[in-house]
Amino acid sequence: MNEYIATFYSHFGAVCFKKACVSCGLPAVIMPVPRSLSSSCGTCVKFQAPGEQDFPEKNEEIEQIVRTEGGRFVQIYEAEE
């Protein structure tokens, strides 16, 4: 299982995505965005999944998704502007 963090444009988007993760059987927690990931102070979802193909459907509120690798963040998805 890999660990991922998804950031959102709104708290609401994070709540929706966390529920979608749980309904897909993926362990997920909602928490403040880590400072090392962003200077924004929003809400993110930390979740675990075997791979990107196992992610729940992305909602329009997702800003980016990163994979955590030993304290580093590797961006794997970024919303189009």
Q: Which residues bind other proteins (CB under 8 A)?
A: 9-13, 15-16, 19, 30-32, 34-35, 39-43, 60-61, 63, 81
For the bound state, the minimum distance from the C-beta of residue 48 to other proteins, rounded and expressed in Å, comes to 18
For the bound state, the minimum distance from the C-beta of residue 42 to other proteins, rounded and expressed in Å, comes to 8
Nearer to other proteins, 17 or 55 (CB): 17
Backbone φ and ψ of 10, nearest 5°: -150, 155
**Continuous segment of H or E residues that includes residue 14:** helix 11-23
| Residues contacting 47, CB < 8 A, separation 6+ | 3, 4, 5, 6, 18, 21, 26, 27, 28, 29
Instruction: Give the distance, in angstroms, between the CA of residue 9 and the centroid of all CA atoms in the same chain.
Output: 11
Nearer to other proteins, 53 or 60 (CB): 60
For the bound state, the minimum distance from the C-beta of residue 49 to other proteins, rounded and expressed in Å, comes to 21
